[in-house]
Amino acid sequence: MKTVTVVGARPQFVKAALVSEALRQVGIEELVVHTGQHYDDNMSAVFFSQLRMAPPALNLEVGSGPHGHQTGVMMSRLEPVIAERKPDWVLVYGDTNSTLAGALVAAKLHIPVAHVEAGLRSFNRAMPEEINRIVTDVLAASLLCPTQTAVDHLSREGITAGVHLVGDVMLDLLLAALPEASRGRVLADLDVAPGRYYLATIHRAENTDDPERLHRLMEALEQAPLPVIFPVHPRTRTTLQSSGWTPCAENRLRLIDPVGYLEMVQLEANAHAVLTDSGGVQKEAFFLGRPCVTLRHETEWVETLEGGWNVLAGSDPERILAALGRQPEGEARRDAFGDGHAASAIASILARGA
């Protein structure tokens, strides 16, 4: 049995790491194709190295661009690869343009699509990610859901065939990576103490494509009561530079380059709290028992809201700072995301042709 796996952005590299190993263990031959959606070494190459993944067999080197153009170029470069390979499955992850391009090409070539993280919904169709995941789920033959909530979303949309509750691959990887991440030096290198800083990430188009909204978020980070470590996504840095943002005279906001997966886990695990618009970072904070403030008005990961472990604050500085001051109740219940064996469940399902 053969599969073509399409990845293009750093969250997908993380998810693919353990699934690729699980596919090998059940005898499925995999060709990993990197669309080149993330092409900076800090956004891609370091992830393959740290996660001990073999470099992708192909890099389509698509790069950035408007959504339609980027997706179209991906499709034109993916089609001959998939057509020649004739895989039993095309495996896609998450909700990026790479996900949509892989699913569309496979469907048009009559090759079954397997979608990891199927069934997620923000119910905000202004988000390009929402369009990508809805279309991919309609096209998919195997819908690999991380939570019961995702299964329920699909059921309400009339999608029940090929739906599997497998758990969250990111929980698998986090549990496997924690021992090595805890031995890292990133805290020493940044000269920060455990529990004495906040960690922030901002990358979604709704925040980075609107300079006024991004400036409000930066204002909130600058007013935070503890130092803020902010690994800056290339898109975010470009908007900050082009929009004329300058830091205020007195603040403890530290903009740094993107970090690898292991460094990110160590920063998340030791932060007093996390501020993010990333779905993956929301989950990782929850898995690690760290309070999170989500810089959006909705989340696909509603399970993280339980007990106040995650709070939706949008871009209003007052709401963001108020959310930083609250205390979550009870324990973060990560069992809603499975038992840490999602990758092996996915490989078994694909091996059965289910």
Q: How far apart are the first and last CA of the chain?
A: 13
Is-catalytic flag, 110? no
pTM, whole model, 2 decimals? Answer: 0.89
Model pLDDT for residues 157-203, shown as the tens digit of each residue: 999 999 999 999 999 999 999 999 999 999 999 999 999 999 999 99
Mapping DSSP to helix (H, G, I), strand (E, B) and coil, where does residue 14 land?
helix
Q: Are 89 and 350 in contact (CB under 8 A)?
A: yes
Q: pLDDT tens, position by position, for the chain (354 residues)? A: 999 999 988 778 888 888 999 999 999 999 999 998 655 555 556 656 676 666 777 888 787 778 889 899 999 999 999 999 999 999 999 999 999 999 999 999 999 999 999 999 999 998 899 999 999 999 999 999 999 999 999 999 999 999 999 999 999 999 999 999 999 999 999 999 999 999 999 999 899 989 999 999 999 999 999 999 999 988 899 999 999 898 886 778 999 999 988 999 999 999 999 999 999 999 999 999 999 999 999 999 999 999 999 999 999 999 999 999 999 999 898 999 999 999 999 999 999 997
- Out of 164, 203, 233, 341, the active site residue is 203
Please report the DSSP string for 49-98 in residue order.
HHTTPPPPSEE-------HHHHHHHHHHHHHHHHHHH--SEEEEETTSHH
What one-character-per-residue DSSP string does 232-279 give?
Answer: PPHHHHHHHHHTT----SS--EEEE----HHHHHHHHHH-SEEEES-H
Q: pLDDT at position 165, please?
A: 98
- In angstroms, rounded to a whole number, what is the distance separating the alpha carbons of residues 46 and 50? 6
Q: What pLDDT is attached to residue 135?
A: 98
Give the pLDDT score at 40. 55
pLDDT of residue 39: 53
- Phi–psi pair at 275, nearest 5 degrees: -120, 125
| Per-residue three-class SS string for 187-225 | HHHHCCCCCCCEEEECCCHHHHCCHHHHHHHHHHHHHCC
| Domains of the chain with CATH codes | 2-168+338-352 (3.40.50.2000), 178-336 (3.40.50.2000)
- For residue 140, the model assigns a pLDDT of 98
Residue with tokens 């470590």: 229
pLDDT of residue 91: 98
Instruction: Report residue 330: phi and psi, to 5°.
Output: 70, -165
Tokens of 77: 């470069």
Q: What is the pLDDT of residue 185?
A: 96
**pLDDT value of position 11:** 79
Instruction: Extract the tokens encoding 193.
Output: 């103490």
Q: For residue 173, how many C-alpha atoms fall within 13 Å in the half-sphere facing its CB? A: 28
